[in-house]
Amino acid sequence: MATAAVVYESITGVTERFGEAIGEHLRSRGVEATVISIGDCDPATLDAHDLVLIGCWTSGLFVVGQHPDREWVAFTRMIPTLRHPRVGLFTTYRLATGSMFRRMRRALEPTGAAVTLELKSRDGRLAEGHRADLDAWLAAAGIGGEGRTPGR
């Protein structure tokens, strides 16, 4: 069974909810998904997973200067080289994500990760578009489908 780590940083709970919803969807597709906060996650374990999704709330001046939180960036600095997993990013926001994903990608550059998915949400709910993006991502990795209800 493929495994996934969904790692998030969340202050008021929206990004946590989004991470939980992502994890639940992955489980519905037969992936063994662990959803965990950056404070509880041992970064050294991430390379063992097939999929790693790393999320953070959007910080900035609402219309400009979006960037990941300092704690999140500090966490990424402890991640060793990611040789094995496919890596995706997620964030929650109010108005605009702006430079958020670019800055998140830059923070992950030292890990060597090729980021192949970006998901963003205002309310932390997993919309149909998010599900479709996740399914396409899984299909590209040759993962998923086992947990689907026949006929759906």
Ligand X SMILES: Cc1cc2nc3c(=O)[nH]c(=O)nc-3n(C[C@H](O)[C@H](O)[C@H](O)COP(=O)(O)O)c2cc1C
Stretch that binds ligand X, among 33-41, 78-86, 94-102, 137-145 (CB under 6 A): 94-102
Stretch that binds ligand X, among 46-54, 60-68, 79-87, 109-117 (CB under 6 A): 60-68
- For 107-135, give one letter per residue: b (16+ CB within 10 A) or e: bbeebebebebebbbeebebeeebeeebe
By the rule CB under 6 A, 6 interacts with ligand X? no
By the rule CB under 6 A, 15 interacts with ligand X? yes
CB of 107 to ligand X, least distance (A): 16
By the rule CB under 6 A, 61 interacts with ligand X? yes
Which residues are at the interface with ligand X (CB under 6 A)? 10-16, 57-62, 66, 92-96
